A and B are shown apart, each in its own frame.
Chain A
Amino acid sequence: MTADAVVALSDVSARYGGVEVLRVPALEVHAGEVLAVIGPNGGGKSTLLRVLAFLERPATGEVRFRGRPVDAARALAERRRIALVFQQPLLADATVAENVALGLRFRGAPPAESEARVAHWLGRFNIAPLRGQRARALSGGEAQRVALARALVLEPELLLLDEPFASLDQPTRETLIPDLAAILRERRVTTVLVTHDRSEAQAFADRVAVLIGGRIRQLDEAARVFHAPASEEVARFVGVETIAAGRVLASEAGVTLVDVAGTRLEVAGRARPGELVRVGIRPEDVTLMPPTERAGLSSARNRLTGTIARVAPTTPGTRVVVDVGFPLVATVTARSVAELGLVEGAPITAVFKASAAHLIGPAVSLDTAARPAL
């Protein structure tokens, strides 16, 4: 275990009714980082969070907090060093200020100190004018601000957030997410954020763990998880919509030439010539242009021509599937749909950079065998 781990799991598993819902051989949350745990619903995210909060004892394995194992006798003391916010604000039927002071009261904080800290955090979350209001009179967004203030007022060594924005409407999320992100960055609060929404993970996370079927399928820097997913399963979850199989023609200088259904693609990464690989491309990395237009100054290495197979409005933007020998998915703005005249059956050119296309799956390193031992 590294020295800066706030909490560490080893060989942890959890079961419900004899069914294993979580198996984590090792997981560390480092001091000051925001770790996002993403995955589909039912993937074990909330169970993982309850284990991290010492609210649920794992069936096997050990939870260490600041290097010391957490057992039943110490669970209360350790719980008082962390804070947890759920999807629902779960406020007590009391005033806003009383709610924010709740955790401090449990810890027996002196009233004067408690009052000052509550006032500070009410201000920090822009809800100072609500302090005397009854909690049940609040809107969803206000209530969740109270719940977050109630957690942060404790100045926790570890902040656990379980889908804190999932019940909020879009405009509310759009104001709350940047506010919270600013607070977490400024205070360097060690945070674990559980979410099924990958845009939230992108907004907050330093590292991302992808939890599918109770197991961590990938744990890496946020940018790598989103752009170089470790498996097709992860790729699909993080929004890589085009996944195409092909054969490697050549590979050098970090760029691999892959033949996908007769089309040659330049892809970031290394592979052995002749090897079968899968290529993943995020839809927002694909640009569509009229087939007549010259590439111009575009540095895009891949320029494919095909016909539009499908145009479907989604959020955000419109999802366009282009048949270029294989289905290639792009997202474009509604305005582009009109300007480019994107209709099914029309010819179109799709371009994307080599760096936007990735080899999915276990990285094939050509030089590990050749490199002499250090």
Chain B
Amino acid sequence: MDLLVEGVREAARLLLAGDREVWSILLLSLQVSGSATLISLALGIPAGAALALARFPGRGLVVSAVNSGMGLPPVVVGLFVTMLLWRSGPLGGWEVLYTPAAIVIAQAVIASPIVVGITLAAVQGVPREFRLQLLALGASRAQMVWMVLREARLPMLAAVMAGFGGIISEIGASMMVGGNIKGQTRTLTTAMVLETGKGNFEVAIALSLLLLALVFLVNWALTSIQQRHAR
């Protein structure tokens, strides 16, 4: 019990004193996971909308694949992204392995199926008759898709939450493709593993409090938007 109380007290001190290393780790995590979320939204929203509205042979298979992809294990992604970016791998020429860019790529791979899957469900949640109504009001296909996405904007906020929440707390891929290099690719989660291993519980607790606060803040902000609209 003492260990825990002591740990929390020390963590609070670290945070309040503005420990440079702790804050730089936080900043990097935010940048990396934020960028990866934006990339996954840019790829996932059009893909999810297209998948929801298009009818083609094998569509069921693709939808199943996306749904499975929503639970993609980060370590598996880490393994394959590492191999792709390995010096002798197909994308070895990019020379980004063990840089923040590599983590962004891996996390975007993890988040994209989540965004596609939620967008798919959100767009399909808009009644087919609404789409017909838009067309009957003279919407072009692009105008129709835009209006449907706009209509599905609240459930799609869930895509942002789930995507960001999934990757900010992921560790397997960050560790494998980033390498947990101090000052360069050390994120909240990889740092926590390291500090816990070393027995530096107070640092690990400080980092975990930051991570929890971050996840809470993002979800609180998005939820409050959602609730304001839902009224």
Q: Does B225 belong to the interface (CB within 8 Å)?
A: no
Neighbouring B residues of A90 by C-beta, 8 Å: 127, 129-130, 133
Neighbouring A residues of B138 by C-beta, 8 Å: 76, 79-80, 103, 106-107, 154
Neighbouring B residues of A76 by C-beta, 8 Å: 138, 140
B144 to chain A, nearest CB (A): 9
Q: Is the pair B136, A82 in contact by a Cβ cutoff of 8 Å?
A: yes
What's the Cα separation between A177 and B150 when bound, in Å?
32
Neighbouring A residues of B135 by C-beta, 8 Å: 55, 79
Q: Is the pair A106, B127 in contact by a Cβ cutoff of 8 Å?
A: no
Neighbouring A residues of B127 by C-beta, 8 Å: 88, 90
Interface size, B (range): 10 to 19
Knowing A92-B147, A93-B151 touch, does A103 contact B137 (C-beta < 8 A)? yes
A73 to chain B, nearest CB (A): 13
Neighbouring A residues of B137 by C-beta, 8 Å: 83-84, 102-103, 106, 150-151, 154
What's the Cα separation between A80 and B139 when bound, in Å?
8
Interface size, A (range): 20 to 34
What's the Cα separation between A108 and B190 when bound, in Å?
52
Count chain A CB atoms within 10 A of each CB in B133, B134, B138 and give the residue with the most.
B138
What's the Cα separation between A130 and B127 when bound, in Å?
25
Q: Is the pair B136, A53 in contact by a Cβ cutoff of 8 Å?
A: yes
**Nearest chain A residue, comparing its CB with the CB of B138:** A80
Q: Does A301 belong to the interface (CB within 8 Å)?
A: no
Count chain A CB atoms within 10 A of each CB in B137, B138, B139, B147 and give the residue with the most.
B137
Q: Is the pair B151, A106 in contact by a Cβ cutoff of 8 Å?
A: no
What's the Cα separation between A90 and B133 when bound, in Å?
7
Q: Is the pair B129, A92 in contact by a Cβ cutoff of 8 Å?
A: no
Q: Does A125 belong to the interface (CB within 8 Å)?
A: no
What's the Cα separation between A86 and B132 when bound, in Å?
10
What's the Cα separation between A82 and B127 when bound, in Å?
22
Q: Does B200 belong to the interface (CB within 8 Å)?
A: no
Neighbouring A residues of B147 by C-beta, 8 Å: 92, 102
What's the Cα separation between A86 and B147 when bound, in Å?
18
Q: Does A50 belong to the interface (CB within 8 Å)?
A: yes
What's the Cα separation between A120 and B71 when bound, in Å?
53
What's the Cα separation between A25 and B139 when bound, in Å?
30
Neighbouring B residues of A102 by C-beta, 8 Å: 134, 137, 147
Instruction: Among B129, B140, B150, B151, point to the contact of A86 (Cβ < 8 A).
Output: B129
What's the Cα separation between A88 and B132 when bound, in Å?
12
Q: Mark A140-168, 1 if CB is under 8 A from B, else 0.
A: 00000000001100100000100000000
Q: Is the pair A55, B136 in contact by a Cβ cutoff of 8 Å?
A: yes
B154 to chain A, nearest CB (A): 8
What's the Cα separation between A80 and B143 when bound, in Å?
13
Q: Mark A69-112, 1 if CB is under 8 A from B, else 0.
A: 00000001001101110101010110000000011001100000
What's the Cα separation between A336 and B24 when bound, in Å?
89
Listed in ascending order, the chain B residues whose CB lies under 8 Å from chain A are 127, 129-130, 132-140, 143, 147, 150-151, 229
List 30 interface pairs A-B (beta carbons < 8 Å), by A numbering. A53-B136, A55-B135, A76-B140, A79-B135, A79-B136, A82-B136, A83-B136, A83-B137, A84-B132, A84-B133, A84-B136, A86-B129, A86-B132, A86-B133, A88-B127, A90-B127, A90-B133, A92-B150, A93-B151, A102-B137, A102-B147, A103-B138, A106-B137, A106-B140, A106-B143, A107-B138, A150-B137, A151-B137, A154-B138, A160-B136
